[in-house]
Structure 1
Amino acid sequence: MRKSSAQFLFLGTMLAAAGYGATFLLSAYYRAHGGSDLDTGTTLGAAMLGTFIGVPLVGWFSGRFDAARLSAIASCAVGCGFLLLAFSTGGTLAVSLTSGVLVGLGWGMFYVGAPMSLSERVTDSDRGFWFTRFGAFQMAGIGGGPLVLNLAVDQAGLSIETTFRLVGFACLVAGLSLWVFSTLAPGAPRSFSLRSWVRPIGVIARSASVRPILMVGFGACVFSGLLTFQSSLVAGTSAKASTFFAVYAITVVAGRLLLARTLASLPQDQLAAGLLVSMTLGVVAMFGVGFHPAFQILSAVLTGIGYGLVYSVIQTWAVNDTEAKYRHAALTWFVLSYFIGVFGFPVIGGWMLVHLGRSAFLGALLVAALSELAILYGGRSKASDGARLTSKTAG
């Protein structure tokens, strides 16, 4: 794939990801309208339902239509969701649910469609490298978007509604950029048949790719919990939410761009284990934010190194550890698992913050991080036992 065409993919990815990153400001949006984190959880719960529509649509129709063009349409849906919030008069339940569904529908389609369009245009040997670069631009939007928007609100004095309008228009530009990418870099030949992604779950469940599919769900809980409710986690302390967004985004983007080749050449199991330990320590560090704001920075760095870099590693596993004809299905299930965590957890997390407090909420994130580590080590243990059994049989 040519770098000139990839630039349009990366630009569209960064702008569309900024649209998802803007969901981290939903908490501030609802507080400005007299709401609470329960309203944030309700909107993101609706977004999760939207992803259950968007992800299967791409899974089924990516054989007929280029996944890049489906991603372009998806970006426009995200933009419409934020424009609906921006032009509403206070976030009624109907508006909140509709905008949530639109954002979830669009982000779900984009999240599986964009990497699928990239995967179809690169070789197996280069997939890890390109996924890492793709992930860098995606994280630049996810982490950098809320940072810029926070600065626009705090420093430039823009209203949260105005920033949501900017997000909406940025997502429309993302859609145009992704459509141009599809035109400049044609993908695989299209077919008139629907791609089955539900039935292959039996094959996928028996393959090594089931591990990363389960792991990404728990990791998404940690990621979503820390970023979606960052403003609530630092409330009453001297730390600022924008600091976490900035440090996290810089850490992830720098790590992915500078270490793409190096990470791909390291033993992947050991690399993933080290990164997940870093993510777990990032959650632990957040417990100390009430004592000193330096713990927030430490948490952002450790989480950025851990979750920010391990995601592309396990995403590559999910694709490469599956038979070629089932890879689109594996990627579809991988993304569905991600969205259960990233949009489903805030429904529970918002309730925990309001009724049980910050410590209980962080405790739930710690359990999710340790669960992901347990799945990794459980899989490594089975692989080692299998290797020893094979060695004895051969002997």
Structure 2
Amino acid sequence: MRPAGALFLLIGTLLTGAGYGATFLLSMRFRTIGGNEFDTGIALAGGVFGTFVGVTMVRSLAPRIGTARMSALAALCVGIGIAGFSPAVRDSSLEVLAGFLLGLGWGAFYVAAPLALSERTDSANRGIWFLRFGTFQMAGIGGCPALAAYAIHFLHWSVNGALGVIAGLCAIAAVLLEMFGRLSPHSPAEVLKERWLGDLGAIARTQAVYPILMIALGACVFSGIMTFQMSLVQGTRAQASTFFSLYTLTVVSMRWLLARLVANVSTETATKVLLVVMVLGIASMFAVPYHVFFQVSAAVLFGTGYGLVYPVMQTQLVNDSDVAHHNAVLTWFVTAYFIGAFGFPTVGGWLLIHSGKGALLTAISACAMAALLLAFVRDKRRIAALTLKA
């Protein structure tokens, strides 16, 4: 990994992550043009279908054009999707198309960029590079809405103008990722051509199905808390930008400080402890109307629990599957994540409009508790399977 190439990759990842983070501004955008949170959910529902297309495109196009160029095209697609939300007029067909392009781009990037990094690093250094990659990605996802909210409230930017700027940043990211590929060339990998849809039946019969289901539920929690944060704190003294900032700082700092500690604990214990912390963070959101401190505690607890449990679940996934299915289960893991991330806002938006904040937080809590329950069920069945083998 050449230093210049690595810099282009990390900054490109930061800016592409900002594109996904811009989705947390959409509820504000729809309110300013006469819409509501359900409109946000409908627009993002297109991202579910875009994700499937994006993942499939990586596995079909990357062997021909390379994972780095695929990452660049994906970043550009994210920018085009965000640009589709920047007009200050309502157009349902355009908004669903924008959501589809956003899901397509982010889904493709989420698969292609880590593959591009993996191809250019050896086993001895791959761990530290993935840590850096994940940190820059999360900084973009959480930092973008925090800075945008600051610009909107204090610098008097329009929401649509902020979305236009973020779309431009994604275009810059595409250029940087293309330069990364040119500075750190690598032959396209044929391994990406293997099947993954056809392996679903075999995967469903293994323990690997539990991490896949848990990350889908975790993504529902993440998208619910982040997408509707501005609506959840409306009418209180709390500010959405505070939550976004503290969440990002918590995830980045905890990944650096606690990653080694978490890695030394069994994945079964780490998953359950982190999910409990995540549940406590959601519980704190119920008390935000009473004092702004509860929003601060929610951001820190949620950032610690959800921010650290993703790689732990990913480790469980690989450990619970056969070597022959590793790439397939990782693909399904990413796909399940995006089904939750882009699919839940439709349900959440409907609940918020028709039943209020309490109903939305209850649904989010139910998803978190279901993920925690699955963690216990997985361990119980794992112990039972080991007992039978003994």
Tell me the TM-score range normalised by the shorter chain: over 0.9
Write the distance in 2 (CA, Å) between the matches of 1:387 and 1:352: 42
SS of match in other structure, 1:199 = coil
Partner of 2:58: 58
1:8–1:177 contact (8 Å) kept in structure 2: yes
Q: TM-score, with normalisation over the residues of structure 2?
A: 0.93
Give the letter aligned to residue 59 of structure 1: R
Write the distance in 2 (CA, Å) between the matches of 1:173 and 1:325: 37
**After alignment, is 375-384 or 53-62 more displaced?**
53-62
Write the distance in 2 (CA, Å) between the matches of 1:101 and 1:133: 29
1:337 aligns with 2:375: no
Distance 1:323 1:116, change over 3 A: farther
SS of match in other structure, 2:190 = coil
**After alignment, is 77-86 or 242-251 more displaced?**
77-86
Partner of 1:11: 11
Write the distance in 2 (CA, Å) between the matches of 1:122 and 1:325: 22
Write the distance in 2 (CA, Å) between the matches of 1:239 and 1:348: 24
Instruction: Map 1:306-345 onto structure 2 (within 5 A).
Output: 306-319=305-318, 321-345=320-344
Distance 1:193 1:119, change over 3 A: closer
Distance 1:60 1:164, change over 3 A: same
Distance 1:269 1:2, change over 3 A: farther
**After alignment, is 344-353 or 74-83 more displaced?**
74-83
Q: TM-score, with normalisation over the residues of structure 1?
A: 0.92
Write the distance in 2 (CA, Å) between the matches of 1:175 and 1:357: 40
Give the letter aligned to residue 359 of structure 2: A
Q: Deviations over 1:70-96 (max 9, x none)?
A: 11101101111222332x241311221
Partner of 1:118: 117
Write the distance in 2 (CA, Å) between the matches of 1:127 and 1:205: 29
1:79–1:168 contact (8 Å) kept in structure 2: yes
How far did residue 381 of structure 1 move? 1.4
Partner of 2:42: 42
Partner of 2:151: 152
How far did residue 267 of structure 1 move? 2.1
Partner of 1:288: 287
Partner of 1:279: 278
How far did residue 111 of structure 1 move? 1.5
1:63–1:195 contact (8 Å) kept in structure 2: no
SS of match in other structure, 2:257 = helix
Instruction: Map 1:61-140 onto structure 2 (within 5 A).
Output: 61-86=61-86, 88-122=87-121, 129-140=128-139
Structure 2 spans left out of the alignment, 5+ residues = none
SS of match in other structure, 1:64 = helix
Write the distance in 1 (CA, Å) between the matches of 2:371 and 2:273: 12
1:21 aligns with 2:21: yes
Q: Deviations over 1:142-196 (max 9, x none)?
A: 1101001111111111111221111011101111222223333344653398332
Structure 1 spans left out of the alignment, 5+ residues = none
Partner of 2:251: 252
Write the distance in 2 (CA, Å) between the matches of 1:360 and 1:76: 36
SS of match in other structure, 2:64 = coil
Give the letter aligned to residue 220 of structure 1: A
Partner of 2:31: 31
How far did residue 211 of structure 1 move? 2.1
Distance 1:370 1:201, change over 3 A: same
1:132–1:312 contact (8 Å) kept in structure 2: no
Task: State the number of aligned residues.
Answer: 390
Write the distance in 2 (CA, Å) between the matches of 1:192 and 1:337: 22
How far did residue 16 of structure 1 move? 0.5
Instruction: Map 1:188-199 onto structure 2 (within 5 A).
Output: 189-191=188-190, 194-199=193-198
Give the letter aligned to residue 95 of structure 1: L
Write the distance in 2 (CA, Å) between the matches of 1:275 and 1:132: 18
1:128–1:316 contact (8 Å) kept in structure 2: no
Kindly report the root-mean-square deviation, in angstroms, between the aligned alpha carbons of the 2 structures.
2.1
Partner of 2:238: 239
Give the letter aligned to residue 375 of structure 2: L
Distance 1:128 1:379, change over 3 A: farther
Q: Deviations over 1:62-120 (max 9, x none)?
A: 3334223211101101111222332x241311221221111111111112222233344
